[in-house]
Chains A and B, each alone.
Chain A
């Protein structure tokens, strides 16, 4: 890889990246909520060439029993890449990387979910990466939070996530595969736009303080954008569900036989 490193030019003299984006431009993001019938909540997401599906089950009885918490629900997440999601077939099953990602995503989600409402239960989140092109953990988290809201789980806010990084000496938003492989830093992060709380942040490579600050600024702006797309996905799913005039909110609790 290092041999190609010098040959490939990630950003041209006009500041345009190899896929035609500007430094602070995101790949096109598309989210659809409620795509699976049997899951309590679900979301499908396409982010550039990334394709991710997320499903949420629960709150449901927590198994194994010893993991139950009598005071709150636990959020269990499984991030999984399909064997065909990358160009070299990925050996199926959890590996070091996907176990780590599962852990950080469940921790990010656990922070927003009102877990204390559902003692002794577990909320299970399954994230399947159908096609990967860098930034799947943030794509997975973005999809998972839409799926959680779709599942009717009470939570503080949706969680938009995005990666920033450094390629060819420039700070860039939302790295693609080439920038991720040949760039010099990768900084995925998740943030609640309203409060600015950071729920996930990891860094691979090196950034100076100035570059880091610039990256955070990019990410902040992008998170706001992603947040609106997430809400729009949910809104489209439930657009026609404003309730009809034929319903009584205070309906009789039991319907006796005629």
Chain B
């Protein structure tokens, strides 16, 4: 029952692994209790925070939590709402009251149409997994132009990096505007070359998400391809 211990001493556990048998800790997310003992319910990394054992999943579908910033695509239009695909098991409705514009009943298509992309926030999640998103918060809006790449939502923290260090490097070297949604969608806009290099960097992060010195590797890649070193670029 000994999970593999990684370099940082963080332990990978699988469903059914015993996490805690002597009542010192309390069950957190990704765990379950049976016979007064705590077991893992997920394949993931075991973490202990303020007396709770939690499992941070290593994969799986995106399940929204309130306050997450996500990048959604308009999937359908109703007379008073839009249905947003946020990469979760169900689409999330965006009600006209939750947008910064004043929309008349039945006039939704004038503001957003199927295929439009928005940066939204999860407004509410209930126990039957009904979600709602909102556009009424600072920085939330319809995204125009640009490109979207999708990665596994569990790798989002790696793309952002410690207090945003990774994403800052990508932005600085590629001159792209980038938004990372918690649901694993990344929106980028900039010149074609910059976008291509940013996408490549993101792919590098996704593939080598766990390798050591990833930030340096990405910086090296971006530096070596940056236009200043290419002789014939304007």
Contact = CB atoms under 8 A, between A and B. Distances in A.
Judged by DSSP, the binding face of A is loop
Chain B interface size, under 10 / 10 to 19 / 20 to 34 / 35 or more: 35 or more
Contacts of B47: 249
Interface string A120-164: 110000000000000000000000000001111111111000000
A153 B60 contact: yes
6 contacts: A120-B128, A152-B44, A192-B16, A241-B58, A242-B210, A251-B156
Contact of A121 (B45, B129, B162, B209): B129
Nearest to A258: B171
A154 B14 contact: no
Contacts of A150: 43, 59
Contacts of B221: none
B63 to A, nearest CB: 8
Contact of B8 (A149, A243, A256): A243
Given A40-B60, A156-B16, A194-B16, A244 B158 contact: yes
Interface residues of A, number: 50
Interface stretch (A53-61, A97-105, A198-206): A53-61
A13 B188 CA distance: 72
Interface string B149-170: 0000010111011111111100
Contact of B157 (A152, A154, A249): A249
A244 B211 contact: yes
B214 A244 contact: yes
Nearest to A153: B60
Contacts of A155: 15-16, 41
Interface of A: 40-41, 58-61, 70-71, 112, 114, 118-121, 149-158, 192, 194-195, 231, 234-235, 238-249, 251-258
B12 A241 contact: yes
Most buried by B among A119, A153, A246: A246
Contacts of A257: 177-179
B39 A246 contact: no
Contact of A247 (B3, B60, B157): B157
A253 B3 contact: no
Given A244-B214, A248-B157, A152 B59 contact: yes
Contacts of B200: none
A235 B12 contact: yes
Contact of A242 (B43, B45, B166): B45
A252 B164 CA distance: 7
Nearest to A231: B14
Given A41-B59, A114-B41, A58 B89 contact: yes
A248 B161 contact: yes
Contacts of B24: none
A206 to B, nearest CB: 34
A145 to B, nearest CB: 9
B170 to A, nearest CB: 10
Nearest to B178: A255
A58 B210 contact: no
Contacts of B30: 154
Interface string B195-228: 0000000000000011110110000000000000
Given A114-B32, A150-B43, A121 B180 contact: no
B4 interface: yes
Q: Which 10 A-B pairs have the closest CB atoms?
A: A242-B6, A152-B60, A157-B16, A154-B41, A254-B69, A152-B59, A121-B89, A155-B15, A242-B10, A119-B128
